[in-house]
A = this chain, B = another copy of it.
Amino acid sequence: MREVAVIATGLTAFGAFPETTIRELGAAAGRECLAAAGVEADRVDGFYLGCFAGPSFTGQNHLAPWVASAIGVHGAPATRFEAACASSGAAFAHAWAAVAGGLQEMALVVGAEQMTVQPTARTAEILAAAGDVADEAALGATFPALFALIARRHMHEWGTTREHLAAVAVKNHANGLLNPKAHLRKAVTLEKALTGRMICDPLTLYDCSLISDGAAALLLAPVDTARGLTDKPVRVLGVAQASDRLALADKADATSFPAVRAAAQKAFAMAGVGPDEIDVAELHDCFTIAELVALEDLGLFPRGQAGPATLEGRTALAGDRPINPSGGLKSKGHPVGATGAAQVVEIVRQLRGESGERQIAGARLGLTQNLGGSGASCVVGVFGA
């Protein structure tokens, strides 16, 4: 296996862009990424599109060659990867495998989703299809309901409080305020988060991530090639994907995701590092409770301690364990298929020291955790400057 590096990144603004197309969003991120590396499109020998529900949102399927050709990538294998909200995490993991295995020299990953083109009720239905439709979604268990159940159980088992949840929102909104690409840039106080409109008890509006449009891109190459194209290659030290049952009801423990634990264990082992060595991480905060569960599943905090640690400010930019400097899905936004790739974009830029006002000083080791559904898919990556 060859050592692989991310040599360039691209990222559109996240927001509501119903007037553009998913093709143009994906192509904009892809073109920015190639231009940043100074690489012509015809050098790309593998194209990996992460997209969850492009056909349902936009009516266009067969999206991989559709986006690739708009970037000028013609001929190379072009495939769409779907693993719910971990779709571009999965695309990244497979692109890494092709380069690491010696099959490809220059793999372009694009994650894209355009969600605001559908009415809210239809969007909720499309998103609910990432869970068990027949036995959960059809009975009303959409994702806010599923994560509300997870939150309630976490409160019961581990003493987590609504303040702990709200503290995640407050912190991620504070970070997003420093991110020019973020969808919802506004400060949120703890009081405001606690008194937000109730969506599904105990989750208020401020506990839920956003419905967004956007795209992100990554260019992967062997480290040896990378050195000729950039003086700041970021090495992929570990990457792993894992799966689990779709239905929340089928999980033995609603407050922990086995797929996250399995993917983290493999990625850490591959990287030869442990959670305590991670300087900065982008975690999948589709709901505030999801960030707390991820912090515990990844071993960044002991179980039951992620909430108090967040309230104490330990996961803030200035804390000892900064999480979601980008603003996360909560403030940056959550164009589902773009999220996994966008997490890697943020970590790569942090490790390169390019993150401006939200830069974590001296960050050398970063982590991404991209979750699909109510935990049935997960991709974890570990990156080194």
Contacts and interface: CB of A to CB of B under 8 A. Distances in A.
Contact of A241 (B53, B74, B77): B77
Contact of A242 (B76, B94, B97, B262): B76
Given A55-B53, A97-B98, A62 B103 contact: no
A17 interface: no
A55 to B, nearest CB: 6
Of A68, A83, A98, A259, most buried by chain B (CB within 10 Å of CB) is A83
Query: Would you call the interface of chain A mostly helix, strand, loop, or mixed?
Result: mixed
A344 interface: no
A336 B93 CA distance: 25
Contacts of A47: 243
A94 B65 contact: no
A131 B62 contact: yes
A42 to B, nearest CB: 13
Contacts of A60: 129, 133-134
Given A77-B93, A82-B80, A262-B75, A243 B65 contact: yes
A67 to B, nearest CB: 10
Interface residues of A, number: 59
Interface string A77-106: 111111110000010011001101111000
Interface stretch (A31-39, A188-196, A223-231, A370-378): A370-378
A258 interface: yes
Contacts of A69: 243-246, 250, 376
Of A1, A63, A79, A246, most buried by chain B (CB within 10 Å of CB) is A79
Interface of A: 1, 47, 52-53, 55-56, 59-66, 68-69, 73-84, 90, 93-94, 97-98, 100-103, 126, 129-134, 240-246, 250, 258-259, 262, 372-373, 376-377
20 contacts: A47-B243, A55-B126, A62-B82, A62-B129, A62-B131, A63-B82, A64-B82, A65-B83, A66-B376, A75-B242, A75-B244, A77-B241, A79-B82, A79-B90, A79-B94, A81-B81, A82-B82, A97-B98, A100-B103, A101-B102
B59 A129 contact: yes
A376 B129 contact: no
Nearest to A373: B62
A61 B90 contact: no
A196 B223 CA distance: 59
Contacts of A373: 62, 65
A375 to B, nearest CB: 10
B55 A243 contact: no
